[in-house]
A and B are shown apart, each in its own frame.
Chain A
Amino acid sequence: MGTKHIVVDPITRIEGHLRIEAVINENNTIVDAYSSSTMFRGIEEILKGRDPRDCGLLAMRICGVCTGTHYQRSIEAVEHAFGVTIPKNARLVRNLIQGALYLHDHVVHFYHLHALDWVDITKALEADPTKTVNEAKKWANAAGTTPYVADSAKFKEVQDRLKKFVKQGRLGLFAKGYWGNPHYKLTPEQNLLAVTHYLQALDLQRDAAKMMAIFGGKNPHPQSIVVGGVTCVQDIQNPARIALYKDLLKGFTRFIKGAYLPDIYMAGTMYGDEALDGTGAGLKNYLVYGGFRLQDNGFYKSELLFPSGLVIDGKYQEFDQEKVAEDVTHSWYNGDKPLHPFDGQTIPNYTGFGKKEKGIAYLDTKGKYSWIKSPIYDDTRVEVGPLARMVVGYVKGDKRISEYVNKFLKNANLPAKVLFSTVGRTAARAIETEMMADIMFNWVDELAANVAAGDLSTWTEFDFDYVSKDAKGYGLEEAPRGALGHWVKIKDGKVENYQAVVPSTWNAAPRDYKNRMGAYEASLIGTKVAKPEEPLEILRTIHSFDPCIACAVHIVDTKGKSLGEFKVNTSCSI
């Protein structure tokens, strides 16, 4: 009675094809939600039977965004199976490639995939460019730094450019946004500041991609990592390459500190009420596989930049990969019980949509309704991602992470509980971006010093015929979006089974065999929608996870489908 069923498909500004269905009550509050991936490629099946040394190149194509993370994890799963430890140069190069990905990914995510959920581009037209300078200074000041740009002429130029664009009548990519929605809260000047950064970031992100290409050959889809090490020998030997990397890092860091962080303080303050209310918090149980090896002492024995572990009901516990399992009760696959990835199966069983009404197909939510499987840890549903990394690091007492989190909360003058919200998820990403950028300077120096000391070793030899007879291994890491793992079983030199359990598998999953919700679904419950025909709040919370659905569909891949549609059907009650 009195409920409305909202279908949002496609969810745009994500990677992959994603559909969200939500049910709202008479107060426009979301009381039920379903997350579905609508694309399948079958990559896990494609990997079977291949030479394990070739998996990384193909597995990387699971995703064009976390490109590189899949590459490294696939290679490392095989290295783990073979018992190969890579040389120091290779570890540092891999960290630098992955680090460049973090910077690129987080900045592109915040400005180009997420900002328009907080920023009303049309309001920027009413801004006073002179007053915008004050805004820029105010939030940079809060972040303890100077603004990236605080020049009224620059703000005016951006505004004029926007005005011309709007005058043409066709808004192109900005057409039909939810402009004017009452849940946009920034002032015109704040909007202009953010739009200016949006355009600057669009230009600047190419530099972070270049950083990846210096040691990775290209971006996206780098090509310099092999089982046993890396191939970019001439790039690490060349001081000019290292200097270029550092220069680009310097420039990008200036943007992170002078624009990205201040913008997060601005958004965090302006949307502080939502954060304090815990809007979008969801499951509140967090998982981190762990990532970025800081030492050369072999697999899963090194100190990590992001320590592994879980926070369940507020308490820390150790992570044990044996407790990871995937369930397919509500996913378009065959299977009757949760399976560990080593034994995981990918047998498609597409049962389609449920009912169709007035041209809209509705998910069969009682049955199977997504290409994403439901990962479960020790019979608990969890969230992964930057927020999980910050929470687990903090609760575990990691010094570095605690320092950055405390600094953020102090500068923003907000209590720790704001982190457990949609706003908090977005803030956690910015906090760790600053931390990443800072530590990457050390890594570049470490690499340069190691090479200068005469260590040019980039690869560890192994006897393929001997080690590939019967082996299994896993590659676990933190992608920008969260815990990303590949599990591989090798027999007679070929891949016998291959499964990936990745960030959006954890977060975007449908319900499980106990009918418990996945992270996206849980995070939407209780959110109030200002205008059901403009589901801004749904996009805001879903985007805060930085969905990457191509990965999630596992090696079955899903894409946030195109076309979308979002319709409200008042007659449908659930």
Chain B
Amino acid sequence: MNREHLRSLFTTKSARVETNRGEAYYARLYEQCKARLEELKKIEPLRKISIKEILEDEGVSRRDFLKWASATTAMLMLPSSFTPLVAEAAELMTRVPVIWIELQDCAGNSEAFIRSDGPKVDDIILEIISLEFQETLMAAAGHQAEAQLEDAMEHFKGKYLLFVEGAIPVGPGREWCTIGASGETFEEHLKRVAKDAAAIVAVGTCATFGGVPAAAPNPTGAVGVMDIVNDKPIINIPACPANPANMVGVILHYVLTGQIPELDSLLRPKFAFGYRIHDNCERRAHFDAGEFVEEWGDEGAKNNFCLYKMGCKGPMTFNNCSIVRYNESVNWPIGSGHGCIGCSEPGFWDKYAYERPMADANIKMAPGGGVEKSVDEFGLGLLTAAGVGIAIHAAASAIAGKKSEGEE
């Protein structure tokens, strides 16, 4: 990763997205998208099947489909007038081949991907996108799997989206992780498959910022994709695992606009990472009222009070889980009474992933020193300051809350 990226995260005023850019902007974008879709329609589809047919087969009505398109439009932070274009783009997703590789990963993102509900995964796999290589699901193995990868890379040269799951060891462990009969290292493998990709989607925090393997003391010198590949558009979808809604959102955006979505300084799409968990949290009112869970299972917990004092990192974490949630919106970590661990932020294992407030943090520092360390310390210092600031606000709210109680 370019260290400037990290630096800017902590120094720019805000990485937040502008949700309203004015009519002229959207009018221009609308025309651009329309032109893009017209272009796409001229391209020979990879799958000669229409989404209409699929939906009919599956008994999904046009109305339900448009409802989904409308929700997706909102998620992509576009005005509702874009809904028909998003629907059209979904129908044109058949034009986008996807190759998915796994490096230092736990397959959690593959697992999350198959929980996708919009569109459903059997549609994605069979018909909507052309998933050409995905180790966790593909039929071929060994030599045949390798041949399939080469074949897809050749056939879709310059056109495929490359999804990467997992980190890449470049430290002493560079040669420890190998793929394939020839014993190709992860780094060689990534570079080879990335070479002819149209764009790369780094999915999950391991592929974006190094994630678990990069946690201190980072035994294998693990890094993210953007530290290895510097000549391709890269879209980071961090979180552990990444939300499948955001994976589909990125593909849709690419189809719709022919461009990668607008990104923040950490290359995360702003439509998903443009605001903080805290901004849209269902427990936010309790924060403002100074009502906190003080101990697991206490009266506050029974009344869904704010989890800030239990170590929730929602105020420092940019992600849309408080809106999109997980598993078809069934729940999300804060819903189940556990604080956010900041899993979409760089270095969160060493900075955020503990269940006590910032002030009580027993933070494990990155080893070895060097610039990486100073950046971590830099970030850490600022974030601790932010934590203290929020703590002061929380305390003030608590006093205000008590006051109003007293007044009653």
Contact = CB atoms under 8 A, between A and B. Distances in A.
Contacts of A400: none
A176 B122 contact: no
Interface centre among B104, B144, B180, B333 (most CB of A within 10 A): B180
B215 A559 contact: no
A118 interface: no
A14 B137 CA distance: 8
A232 interface: yes
Interface string B168-186: 0100010111111111100
Contacts of A46: 212-213, 215-219, 349
B241 A221 contact: yes
A161 to B, nearest CB: 7
Contacts of B354: 51, 53-54
A174 B189 CA distance: 22
Nearest to A54: B354
B73 interface: no
B386 to A, nearest CB: 20
A281 interface: no
A176 B148 contact: yes
A231 B142 contact: no
Contacts of A8: 141-143
Contacts of B215: 46, 58
Interface stretch (B28-36, B76-84, B105-113, B264-272): B105-113
B139 A176 contact: yes
B120 interface: yes
A167 B48 contact: yes
Interface stretch (B9-17, B296-304, B370-378): B296-304
A203 B103 contact: no
A210 B329 CA distance: 9
A17 interface: yes
A506 to B, nearest CB: 19
A40 B213 CA distance: 9
A328 to B, nearest CB: 15
B132 interface: yes
A350 B176 contact: yes
Interface stretch (A268-276, A352-360, A377-385): A352-360
Contacts of B125: 172-173, 202
Interface centre among B48, B144, B334, B341 (most CB of A within 10 A): B144
Contacts of A10: 135, 141-142, 145, 179-180
Contacts of B218: 46
Given A9-B142, A45-B219, A174-B139, A223 B338 contact: yes
Given A218-B333, A361-B183, A63 B145 contact: no
B331 A213 contact: yes
A218 B326 contact: yes
B61 to A, nearest CB: 17
Contacts of B131: 172-173
Contact of B141 (A121, A199, A221, A566): A566
B102 to A, nearest CB: 5
Given A53-B355, A235-B331, A563 B145 contact: yes
A11 B353 contact: no
Contacts, number: 376
Nearest to B116: A206
A564 B179 contact: yes
Interface stretch (A314-322, A408-416, A453-461, A511-519): A453-461
Interface string B119-154: 011100111001111111111111111111101000
A206 B117 contact: yes
A178 B145 CA distance: 11
Contacts of B140: 12, 175-177
A49 B364 contact: yes
B336 A175 contact: no
Contact of A233 (B102, B144, B178, B301): B301
Contacts of A221: 108, 240-241
B114 interface: yes
A565 B287 CA distance: 54
A13 interface: yes
Interface residues of B, number: 100
Contacts of A563: 101, 145-146, 149, 179-180, 184, 189
B115 interface: yes
Contact of B49 (A168, A214, A230, A533): A168
Contact of B189 (A62, A121, A226, A562): A562
Contacts of A168: 46-49
B405 interface: no
Contacts of A564: 141-143, 145-146, 179-181
Interface in B156-178: 166, 169, 173, 175-178
B141 A12 contact: yes
Contacts of B104: 39, 41, 557, 559
Interface string A1-24: 000000111111111110100000
Contacts of B166: 559
Interface string A31-67: 0000000111111011001110110011001111101
B362 interface: yes
Interface string A385-419: 00000000000000000000000000000000000
A12 B135 contact: yes
B26 interface: no
Interface string A199-223: 1001101100110111111111111
Contacts of A371: 176
A57 B141 contact: no
A15 B181 CA distance: 18
A557 B302 contact: no
B333 A224 contact: yes
Contact of A11 (B57, B141, B147, B151): B141
A121 B114 CA distance: 20
Contact of B109 (A9, A64, A244, A352): A64
Contacts of B222: 41
A332 interface: yes
Contact of B177 (A38, A51, A53): A38
Given A58-B349, A233-B302, A213 B326 contact: yes
Contacts of B147: 176
A171 to B, nearest CB: 8
Nearest to A167: B48
Contacts of A559: 102-107, 166, 177
Given A58-B212, A176-B148, A64 B241 contact: yes
Contacts of B319: none
A40 B176 contact: yes
Given A219-B115, A233-B297, A43 B212 contact: yes
B337 A233 contact: yes
Nearest to A360: B181
A170 interface: yes
B19 to A, nearest CB: 26
Most chain A CB neighbours (cut-off 10 Å) among B117, B141, B335, B364: B141
Contacts of B64: none
A51 to B, nearest CB: 5
29 contacts: A10-B141, A19-B181, A40-B177, A45-B219, A46-B349, A49-B364, A61-B108, A63-B108, A164-B49, A170-B46, A175-B132, A177-B140, A199-B122, A206-B115, A206-B120, A216-B331, A217-B334, A217-B338, A218-B327, A219-B327, A226-B338, A234-B302, A235-B337, A533-B143, A550-B106, A559-B107, A560-B102, A562-B189, A566-B144
The 3 closest A-B pairs by CB, nearest first: A566-B142, A64-B108, A42-B219
Given A64-B111, A232-B336, A563-B180, 5 more contacts: A42-B220, A173-B137, A176-B148, A218-B331, A562-B149
